[in-house]
Structure 1
């Protein structure tokens, strides 16, 4: 499983914390709702006091990469976009005014949610993979929820610092097909090279 991050300290923390084991990673507090509730409560206080918007997951380069992909493929301006695990909302702010966006707790989705043109994940699947309470089942629930809200032929854009391209293809093999692999920064170590993150576009079949 890949290590490192595309800029963004929080994403790097996920990668360092989760060591690969059979069927996933060593459980971590980074995979719990309580941890992220506390993180974003602190970020909210910081924003209110100092105007600091907080961490940009995987860095601005990753955020711009996704927006450029949507522009390249001429995604309609009225397309509905679900930002999965929106965190502090920095990416969401970039989308507002361009697309119709909706924020939702992905493990407790509203029953009425469906028909999204695009679903975007920048680190949420990574975090769920570290959940101490049956992460394997949580990952299956994630894929099931994704399938239920994304319309047929809709796109799922995922950026991950913990999973390789091949592993993500396996995780989303049921009901999704690889549409495109997005370019990401490369690194070299010990004579070997690889990508610091995986960024893939799936299409619901």
Structure 2
């Protein structure tokens, strides 16, 4: 509970983990710049949390930005961050991505930093919710649009399997490696998919 004069803080499900922080944002922005994705491309941040990724995208010249979160308090927080940064061109909406409104369609880029992980952890019908996530993604992302996902719960192979319907892998983005018991692995998986025509 926030004390007197303190701002209430409502982090998204996995938003406080360091691998979803600055390093993840830099990785996403670098990839978009390397691919020369036009700055006026419509970008959807799925599970925007405090909206910081959208702020960074705006600072890097992107102009058509939308952030959604099912949590009204997360959207209130991101509105405050947006106002403080003077970023009036960012649109923020309270939306459940598993049942997106008609307003959410035609995006050229969709970004997920931990929302698919949170959906996957739902104790009620996690498999059905993951399938619904993929259907929702197909409905909001244009054919040949890009989907960038950062996950700390899923391996590359598992994500390829989850998104095999309607998507093809373009690239695996480099993430920090660790060594345990003589084996090298990643604590985070970051992939770029493209929606099939």
Confirm or deny a common fold (TM above 0.5). Answer: yes
Counterpart contact for 2:147–2:192, Cα < 8 Å: yes
Structure 1 residue 117: Cα displacement: 0.6
**Structure 1 segment 152-167 matched on structure 2, within 5 A:** 152-167=143-158
TM-score of the pair, normalised by structure 2: 0.75
Provide the TM-score with structure 1 as the length reference: 0.72
Residue 138 of structure 2 corresponds to which residue in structure 1? Answer: 147
Number of residue-to-residue matches in the alignment? 158
Q: For the Cα contact (< 8 Å) 1:151–1:204, is it kept in 2?
A: yes
The equivalent of 2:65 in structure 1 is 101
| Higher RCO (C-alpha under 8 Å, 6+ residues apart) | 1
Whole-angstrom CA distance in 1 between matches of 2:164 and 2:119: 18
Indicate conservation of the 8 Å contact 1:153/1:203, yes or no: yes
Name the structure 2 match of 1:32: none
Contact 1:82/1:101 (<8 A) preserved: yes
The answer to which structure has the higher helix fraction is 1
C-alpha deviation, 1:82, in angstroms: 0.3
Unaligned runs of 5+ in 1: 1-37, 48-53
The verdict on how the C-alpha distance between 1:57 and 1:111 changes in structure 2, with shifts beyond 3 A counting, is farther
CA deviation string 1:16-47 (max 9, x = no partner): xxxxxxxxxxxxxxxxxxxxxx9xxxx95259
Structure 1 moving runs of 4+ over 6 Å: none
Cα offsets for 1:150-169 (capped at 9, x unmatched): 00110000000000000000
Give 1:45's aligned residue: 8
Q: Does the alignment pair 1:68 with 2:13?
A: no
Preserved contact between residue 106 and residue 140 of structure 2 (Cα < 8 Å): yes
Q: Deviations over 1:155-200 (max 9, x none)?
A: 0000000000000000000000000110001000001111111000
Stretches of structure 2 that go unaligned for 5 or more consecutive residues are: 69-94
Give the root-mean-square deviation of aligned CA atoms.
2.0
* 1:197 has 2:160 as partner: no
Q: Is the 8 A contact 1:158 1:201 kept in 2?
A: yes
Secondary structure in 1 matching 2:117: helix
